[in-house]
Chain A
């Protein structure tokens, strides 16, 4: 497997995007507003990619905010109580989310789509309830607590450093996903997704693979959650909100489900649209626009924006013949 092939347009596009990602802070300079948007965009690219990884195994989740928030809480509690640097506790947040992910996965692997969606959705509500009631002495309940930042603001140009750190993490994670999907594990996941009965017949036991997908997805989601918390420097139970469960789904669908590029493209497009609409002053209307976009994409472009070039080619060919 070659990492770069100059004759493949997709590789060229990816490298162009990477170069752009590395250069863009120099173009926008030290404009904190744009840097913040970019950092959050990267964090959500990680989050959406993690959610999307689950769909490679034919599963889905409506409650990924549970893992996002659990990662955030675990990592920030470690950082606050033990005084460890955020970059270290980040991994702990991921591991904790993965642990819980595998546990809830044990229930979910046997469920079919609707049930899976409901259980994962319900799970996020339960976790939020626990955080604000039973665990409130540790978590501060609805008020939350302040958390150290990923890069201390006393550093000169700390947002710039943070941007490159998050970019690096995002690239590493996407490369790992790419490697996993091209390995035998990825093949097994695809087989399970396409037809579980046939996969069983071919000697693949779906349960460990589905659990694996759940665990990896929760791990990366936990890391994304920790990154977001360490970016804002404050954590509240609102991190478990329904919105945060929906965003990765919207990003992945807009970009294209079941592709590596989908969540990345989707996150970039939707975030830009989102912030663009915000600057036009459309606070509620932008939700409606995103909702309509989602419905239209599911009906007319079920494989997402990534498939747009192919679709256009197909249309043109049809018109010519």
Chain B
């Protein structure tokens, strides 16, 4: 009996850990959606780019990979700003299908640019703490997972402080509550768009670093599946709601790991979509989404 509880809490812990990456992705998506009312389907490619940048910096510098967050986040913010300025700004307001389609173009560009530079074989890297396990009662927790959970929490707290305490954060919140109103109050919403998109991409970049550090394999095409899970989360948690993204991310992480544990690993990816479809059958606007029009 004691053993089962041990295994179950171990699985729950894995869920918590894999939830972290989804939370970072979904928070970024929701931040962008809140301000610009677009869904970036190429968000997973930012994650992928983050893993490769981490991998590249790790190989050339040999620093502790967690330090490399300092590299991957700013680089991804810059990439995000450029993508917003060049691709999403021109089509803003021309129809929702357009932004979905433009993301498809971006997916192709990013995946194959990376494949061109680093080839498309599966890669992985090894964290210096990979062998350290921490014993907590019946649990054996890898130190890496603990660090990842802590880092995610720190990133979320600093995002919260940024949104609440700084002028730019206030501008972002204003623009996401009422775009026109914010514009009338003198907020430069186009600059806010660029910045928000950059932050969203930066969060995905952080998720990418954590993905690589945790020893998971990656290749240029790995971004799509986590991104889709990100979408499932923001639908479950409500479009534009950051607390929803956090709760939804944890929920998906847990459900996935328990499903993989009980039904087998091949169901890991499908279960979040089944959940998503079931929720949308019952509530077409998402769990916490309100009906528009």
Contact = CB atoms under 8 A, between A and B. Distances in A.
Contact of B277 (A123, A257, A293, A298): A123
Contacts of B228: 118, 121-122, 125
A212 B273 CA distance: 24
Nearest to A133: B266
A285 B114 CA distance: 10
Interface in B100-120: 100-102, 104-109, 111-113, 115-116, 120
Interface of B is mostly: helix
Nearest to A300: B90
Contacts of B221: 242
Contacts of A257: 97
A129 B97 contact: no
A249 interface: yes
A291 B277 contact: no
Interface in A285-309: 285, 287-288, 290-295, 298-299, 302
Nearest to B289: A115
B75 to A, nearest CB: 19
A246 to B, nearest CB: 6
B284 interface: yes
B106 A117 contact: no
Contacts of A221: none
A100 interface: no
Contact of A292 (B105, B232, B276): B105
A147 B94 CA distance: 45
A125 B113 CA distance: 25
B266 A126 contact: no
A114 B95 CA distance: 11
Contacts of B113: 284, 288
Interface of B: 39, 41, 87, 90-91, 94, 96-98, 100-102, 104-109, 111-113, 115-116, 120, 221, 224-225, 228, 231-232, 235, 239, 264, 266-267, 269-270, 272-274, 276-277, 280-281, 284-286, 292-293
A60 interface: yes
B270 to A, nearest CB: 4
A40 interface: no
A113 B96 contact: yes
A9 to B, nearest CB: 29
Nearest to A294: B105
Contact of A119 (B104, B266, B277): B277
A12 interface: no
A268 interface: no
A249 B286 CA distance: 26
Interface string A44-55: 000000000001
14 contacts: A112-B96, A112-B285, A126-B273, A126-B274, A126-B277, A129-B270, A132-B266, A133-B264, A246-B104, A284-B120, A294-B101, A294-B105, A295-B87, A295-B109
Contacts of B104: 246, 249-250, 291, 294
Contacts of B269: 125, 129
A197 B136 CA distance: 59
A249 B276 CA distance: 23
A111 B284 contact: yes
B231 A118 contact: yes
A298 B98 CA distance: 7
Contacts of A129: 266-267, 269-270
Contact of B112 (A55, A118, A246, A291): A291
Contacts of A285: 112, 116
Contact of B98 (A284, A288, A290, A302): A302
Nearest to A114: B39
Given A126-B270, A298-B91, A119 B280 contact: yes
A130 B284 contact: no
